[in-house]
Structure 1
Amino acid sequence: MSFKKLIEPLKDAVQRKGFTAPLPFQKKILSKIKGGISMFAIAPEGFGKTTTIVISTIQKLKGKAFEDAPRVLIFVKDKQAALDLESEFHGYTQGTDLRVYCAYDEKNIDDQRDEIYNGTDIVIATPKRLNKIFYLNGINLNKLQMCIIEDAGFIFRDSNLAEVTRTPESIGKCQYLIFAEKFDTRFERWLDSFMFNAEIIKS
C-alpha cells in the first residue's frame, strides 16, 4: 500500500514527517493489515514496525472517534513504552479527533477506569494493568477491531504471556497483529487458538 492511499489527515502527517514512500518491510505488510489479516510481523529494529502500528491503526479507524468503547488495544511492555507510543500517535493524529489513552501500573486504577469509561478509541496498556481494569468492569472489549502487541518479546517475562493470552477470551472477532524482532516458537500456541489463520511475515 502506498502512502497515497491513506486518509487525508494521515497523508498530511506522513508528509510532515518527511516520508515519501513506505520502507520495504512496511510495503510488505501495510496492505495486508488494511485487508484485515492477522499476522506476526517479524523484523529487526529500524524497519518501521512502530510507525506501521500507528499508521495502520489511524487508517483502520478512519481518523474518527466513535462512541465510548475502545476499538484498538495495544499491549506494551511498561509505562515508558506506553508513553513513547502515545507520543508517536500524537505526531500522526493531528487533523483527527481520535482519543488515545495509556493504562499502566503506576497510575491510580480507579482514575484509569473512570477515564476509559468516559470514552477512548485506542488504549495502550501493559498486560497486567489492562486485565485488572477489565476485571473491575472498567473497560468494554466488545467493540475491539484490532489487538496489537508492540515489541512482543517482553511477553515471555514475568506472567505477561498468561495475561495476554487471557485477553482474547473476552474478545469477539478481531484482527491480531504481533510485532517482534524474532519469531519465538512459543507464539505457535496462538496459531493453534485465536490466531489460527495468521500469516507470518518476515523482513
Structure 2
Amino acid sequence: MPFKKLHPHLKAFLDSKEITSPTPFQKASIPTIKSGTSVFCIAEKDLGKTTTLILTTLHKIKCEEFGTAPRAIVLVGSNDDALEIYEEFSKYTRYTDVRVYLADEKSHIDLLKSEIFEGVDILISTTKQMNKLLLLEGVNTTQVKILSIDDADFLAQGTSTADLISITQSIHKCQFVIYAEKMHPALKRLESNFMEHSRIVSISL
C-alpha cells in the first residue's frame, strides 16, 4: 500500500487522522511520483490530488529542514489557492522542522526575497509571483528536487503557461508533477518543453 511506504512521520499523521486506505488515484499516483519521474496526474475533484501533492512533496524532502535554498516548489493559479495549500501543508508540518513559506502576492517583493534568503524548504507561490521572484534573483533554485503544480487547469488560460516555462528554464535536474482535472491541450504542449519524458496517471470515477 502506498501509505505504508511513506516517511514514518507522514504515516503517523495519517494514522492519527484514521486515514488508512489510499484513494484509487493515490494508489496509482504515489508510487509513480516516488519513482522520481515527471508525471501528469489527471483526476476529477475530490479524488485526493492535493493530499497526494503534500504527501509526495514532504516524502521527497524527508520531512526535515535542510540548508537555506528551497528543495520543493508548489505553484498555483491564484493567491487564494496559494494560501489554501499553505494552510493544508501546515497541518502536516506542525510537529516537524520543515519550513513552508508562502510567497504572498500581498507582501512587498523585497520582504519576500529577504525571508526566502533566510531559509525555506518548501516554497508556495503563484506562477506570476514565482517568475517575478526569479527575474529579481529572489530564489536560489539550485537545490530544487521537485516542482508541483496544483489544479493546473488554470494553465489553459491567460499568460500563466509563459510564466511557467520561464520558471522551469531556471531549474535543472528536477522532477515536475502536474495535477489537473483534464489533460488540456495547454498541458499536452508542455511535453515538448520540460515534460518531455513524463508519464501520465489518469483516474476517473
**Alpha-carbon distance in 2 for matches of 1:21, 1:183:** 26
Would the aligned equivalents of 1:13 and 1:91 in 2 still touch at CA under 8 Å?
no
The amino acid of 1:169's aligned partner reads Q
Matched, 1:142 2:142: yes
Would the aligned equivalents of 1:39 and 1:199 in 2 still touch at CA under 8 Å?
yes
Please give the per-residue CA displacement for 1:36-89, whole angstroms capped at 9, x wherever unaligned: 011110000010000000000111111111100001111111111111101111
**What residue number does 1:200 align with?**
200
**What residue number does 1:64 align with?**
64
**Alpha-carbon distance in 2 for matches of 1:15, 1:83:** 25
**What residue number does 1:78 align with?**
78
CA displacement at 1:13 relative to structure 2: 0.9
Q: Which deviates further from its counterpart, 112-121 or 85-94?
A: 85-94
Structure 1: which 5+ runs fail to align? none
**What residue number does 2:115 align with?**
115
Matched, 1:2 2:6: no
TM-score with structure 1 length normalisation? 0.96
CA displacement at 1:8 relative to structure 2: 1.8
How many residues in Structure 1 have an aligned counterpart in Structure 2?
203
CA displacement at 1:157 relative to structure 2: 2.7
Would the aligned equivalents of 1:9 and 1:95 in 2 still touch at CA under 8 Å?
no
CA displacement at 1:158 relative to structure 2: 2.5
Q: State the SS of the aligned residue for 1:64.
A: coil
**Alpha-carbon distance in 1 for matches of 2:187, 2:78:** 20
TM-score with structure 2 length normalisation? 0.95
CA displacement at 1:95 relative to structure 2: 3.2
**What residue number does 1:166 align with?**
166
CA displacement at 1:21 relative to structure 2: 1.5
**What residue number does 1:48 align with?**
48
Please give the per-residue CA displacement for 1:22-44, whole angstroms capped at 9, x wherever unaligned: 11110001011111011110000
CA displacement at 1:114 relative to structure 2: 0.6
Structure 2: which 5+ runs fail to align? none
**Alpha-carbon distance in 2 for matches of 1:2, 1:129:** 33
Q: State the SS of the aligned residue for 1:91.
A: helix
CA displacement at 1:9 relative to structure 2: 1.4
Q: Runs (4+) of structure 1 moved beyond 3 Å?
A: none
CA displacement at 1:17 relative to structure 2: 2.0
Would the aligned equivalents of 1:13 and 1:94 in 2 still touch at CA under 8 Å?
no
Q: State the SS of the aligned residue for 1:170.
A: coil
**Alpha-carbon distance in 1 for matches of 2:3, 2:94:** 17
CA displacement at 1:117 relative to structure 2: 0.6
**Alpha-carbon distance in 1 for matches of 2:40, 2:115:** 31
- RMSD (CA atoms): 1.1
CA displacement at 1:168 relative to structure 2: 1.3
The amino acid of 1:74's aligned partner reads V
